Amino acid sequence: MTITAAADGSALGNPGPAGWAWYVDDSSWAAGGWKHATNNQGELKAVLELFRATAHIDDDLLVLCDSQYVINSVTKWMKGWKAKGWRKGDGKPVMNLDLLKEIDEAIAGRRYRFEWVKGHVGHPLNEAADERARGAAEAFQRGRSAPAGPGFRLGGAAAVVAERITPAVAASVGQHWTGSPTLTADRVAERASAYAHEELFSFDDLGDNIGEDHRDLTDPHGPDAARSGGELHRVTLALSAEEHRRLVQRSEARGVTIEEYLRGQI
């Protein structure tokens, strides 16, 4: 799966009141800015915040950017700058050093690529990012708070879960509860999508479909071992950073590992 997002910056007067924004769709975007900055700083900040917002997602990232400076800085020049102690070929210090160092840290281990798009020619994602970045700059110019956006949701959290739960996975999950006729493969995907909208995939909510006599399917020695043939079944969950944080909190509160907590919920 590839996340496609546009990143853009804006500076009124350049330098002047400035804004940045990244945009996936209307339910997944973020923006911010400063009272005084350059357009290049806005462009770099947009890319940085996009990588930070998607740090918990193990997917390829396609960054649409209308700034050749940003694309070249990240994909061509950064390695050489680092080797020279963050100095350019003429020995002068690299500009916007703090932002570049933060981007260098944020992209470590990530799968990404940049694609240049011409600005202000009607590209829908680029236009949406530009509109939000300029809106942030104008808000700072007027001394008002700028809309920060909903953050990363990839078209709503349900889209993330629905994308990850393929028909084969759903069927695999559904067949483990053959004693519960309401828990079909389609029902698994449907419930997962519904839970994602609530921003917490909770096993507690599956209780109405999972009978008491189907709780130990992961235990080869448990009461369901004979019925399941003593086989272990792997279930994979795609969780957002916030969902994972809540899961960790719940397992720590009970003094068990995450795996033990999930088994208990199932």
Average pLDDT value for residue range 27-53: 98
Whole-angstrom distance, CA of residue 142 vs CA of residue 41: 20
What local confidence, expressed as pLDDT, does residue 250 receive?
73
Per-residue pLDDT tens digits for 213-266:
333 434 444 444 444 455 555 566 666 566 666 677 676 666 667 777 677 766
User: Which residues does the annotation mark as catalytic?
Assistant: 8-9, 43, 66, 120, 130
pLDDT at 116 over 90: yes
pTM given for the model: 0.61
What local confidence, expressed as pLDDT, does residue 190 receive?
44
Whole-angstrom distance, CA of residue 37 vs CA of residue 53: 22
C-alpha dihedral, 116 to 151 to 242 to 74, nearest 10°: 30
Residue ranges and CATH numbers for the domains of the chain are 2-141 (3.30.420.10), 157-265 (no CATH)
Nearest CA to 192 out of 224, 150, 237, 161 is that of 161
Range among 97-101, 185-189, 194-198, 252-256 rated most confident: 97-101
- Angle of CA points 223, 226, 231, to nearest 5°: 100
- What's the N-to-C CA distance of the chain in angstroms? 28
Per-residue pLDDT tens digits for 139-182:
999 999 989 999 998 654 334 433 444 444 344 434 433 333 33
